[in-house]
Amino acid sequence: MTLSQGEYQAIIDDQSKVITADIVWRRSRQILSAMEFRVNINNEEGYPIFLRGWYNPDSGKLSYSIIHRNVGRIYGLDLGAEHRNPDGRLIGETHKNYWWEGDHDKWAYSPEDITETWNNPIGVWEQFCDEVNLNHSGRMRPPIHPGRQLV
Amino acid sequence: MNASEICASISPSLPALFQCEAAPREGVRVRTPLLFPDGGIVDVFVVAKKNGYVVTDYGDALGWLGQHSVSNRLSKNQQSMVKDVCQTLRLELTQGQLTRSKVRLNDLAVAVVEVAQAVVRVSDIWFTMRSRSTQPTAEAVDKWLRTKSIRFARDVQIQGRSRRWRIDFETQAYGQTSLVRLLTTRAKGATRRMVEHAVAGWVDMRNLRESERGLTLVSLFDDTKDVWSESDFRQLEIHSEIAKWSQREQFNRILTMG
């Protein structure tokens, strides 16, 4: 089943979305070279959404994804990888995927508000939160991979 | 070999659509023309080691799955699928990375293509991941249409003037075709956007109603939850027939008599 476009847009527009916890990156259980986190997104309407981050310094990729518990990823920011839209157009290495009814998150665009680079997860995080109306009242700690220098 | 030399040695063997450049940390990144299910471009990495080259995805395939699924873990069945991919394409799954090691220079291009194929196959496991229904009312409508012996198709894509629209149900009864959009939500805050989206859709598909006789556009409100206002109905009644799920006989009349 799918999420309606109207409901998706309401989630994005909702100004009550907040993450209260500090964000702590942990080494991925599956991919030992990567780091990840997961936090709940609290909101007044009770939308069942949470946020997942993924950072892989070896492949040069950073992603922040809003995941709806019933349908999967509905919105995401990807850095370090290009994207091709269903109409064939190539979108650059910094792009945002968004939900489009019937197409899941296959459509992406190049956002002008993300100017930080993939290897600055905290800087990117602050820019990401602004556009998606997400208030983070905690702090994101820098990802430090055990056995590696500060990334 | 440095990154430039590695690229120079493998590029002639790769099709023109593969692009080689230095990787962020070590080795080279080969950007392929292959896509993840969401349209993301697949990258493969080549690293020179003492006993040959390592060709790997650096964990991007499983990382992609984790970013697109509710659970970050693969079921046993899905893990078996990953193992099957590795077996077919002669790869190892090492610390979450799809890898072929000890690759000779002459075999690099083939290894790059096969690791890229493995990334695509593993990411396609996404299609086996179930999502819970967000619309139990849609299932109820489905069931009701069957009991009424009204022929229908679900999740139909209809081309409007400017774009395609997803319609929840397309029904056929007594020579009449109806396009039914179901408006259902528990969140009062979502209603405005849902109504606006429905209005935009019906306006864009107005040409269909004008060109096809016997076509009815129907906005079906799930009014089992008290989230809708009179204004929501009024906005949509200009562009479509209004039906309410609590008044099924009226909905039946709209579908069968126009």
Which of B67, B135, B157 is opposite residue A102, by nearest beta carbon? B157
pLDDT of residue A146: 59
Please answer yes or no on whether A5 and B197 come within 8 Å at the CB atom: yes
pTM: 0.84
Inter-chain residue contact B63 with A80, CB threshold 8 Å: no
Separation of alpha carbons A103 and A71, rounded Å: 12
3-class DSSP state for residue B26? coil
pLDDT of residue B130: 66
The tokens of B96 are what? 């979450």
Predicted local distance difference test score (pLDDT) of residue A58: 93
Per residue of chain A (151 residues), what is the pLDDT tens digit?
578 888 999 999 999 999 999 999 999 988 888 999 999 999 998 899 999 999 999 999 999 999 998 889 999 999 999 999 999 999 999 999 999 988 889 999 999 999 999 999 999 999 999 889 999 999 999 998 655 544 4
Averaged pLDDT in 10-residue chunks for chain B of 258 residues: 86 88 93 96 94 95 92 88 96 95 92 96 89 73 94 92 91 92 89 92 88 87 92 95 95 89
| Residue ranges of A 1-30 with Cβ closer than 8 A to chain B | 1-7, 9-11, 13-14, 28-30
Instruction: Please give the single-letter amino acid code of residue B176.
Output: Q
Residue with tokens 């990411």: B123
Task: Choose among A58, A68, A7: nearest CA to A28.
Answer: A58
- Closest chain A residue to the Cα of B47, Cα to Cα: A58
Tens digit of each residue's pLDDT (9 = 90 or more) over A22-47: 999 999 988 888 999 999 999 998 89
Parallel, antiparallel or unpaired: strands B41-49 and B92-94:
unpaired
